[in-house]
Amino acid sequence: MDQTTRIDSYAFHSVNKFCETCGVKLKLTANVHIKRKRFCSASCRMKGINKHRFAQPAALNHTCKMCCKTKPICDFYTVTYKDKKYPRQFCKKCYKGHVYAMFEKHPEWVEQMRTRRKLKRAALPFRMESARDLGLTLAEAFKMYTDQCGKCAVCGAPPQNGRRLALDHNHATGEPRQFLCCSCNADLSVIENKARFEKLQAYLVKHEPKIH
């Protein structure tokens, strides 16, 4: 048989195939890809494979695939898909135990994570932890920081002694305000606590020098 007759003629036709999840046209380059390719990316493939699992209503209990115990949903970490939360395969206890065991086997991982975290924090001129907890992105926090010219919003002084500005927020509503230095942020927390502020005022009045 001639070599050309063994080549699948299906590869020479103009074939239009689309991703079964998002509908994007697939890039077909070979016979195997034409016949077997169904998704455009790994994420679409996982969504398409788990489509039947995501379509089912969330149950109150879930079985861990590591310890094989049925536990409440609150004992599992969740993944969000189409505004719904679904439990992961392993419960929190098994997942943490597995992670800690891997860290004990590979202590160099822990050191790499600590070094990476230190370098990332040192590269930022403000505390990203406080900004992230209040729902701000890195771009939004940088814009707020540059609008203040890198200075405290109360005293107008830049941070000193290697310290960084912290993002102040309304404790009642949780809305972020502006970046403050450590001293102004601590003083503001005392002023907002009216009961503590009154006690401090009473303490100062008690120890005022008496004029004879």
Task: Render pLDDT for 137-193 as a digit per residue (tens, 0 to 9).
Answer: 878 888 888 888 888 888 888 888 878 888 888 877 778 888 888 888 888 888 888
Task: Tell me the pLDDT of the chain averaged across its residues.
Answer: 79
Which pTM does this prediction carry?
Answer: 0.44
pLDDT at 203 over 80: yes
Domain boundaries, the chain: 9-56, 57-123, 126-202
Are the CB atoms for 26 and 40 separated by under 8 Å? Answer: yes
Architecture of domain 126-202: 3-Layer(aba) Sandwich (3.40)
pLDDT, residue 6, reads: 45
Q: Tell me yes or no: is domain 57-123 CATH 2.40.50.
A: no
Q: Which residue has the higher pLDDT, 29 or 108?
A: 108
Using the structure block, give the residue that is written with the tokens 């036709």.
13
What is the spatial distance between Cα 181 and Cα 195, in angstroms, rounded to a whole number?
A: 24
Are the CB atoms for 58 and 84 separated by under 8 Å? Answer: yes
Are the CB atoms for 184 and 154 separated by under 8 Å? Answer: yes
pLDDT at 31 over 70: no
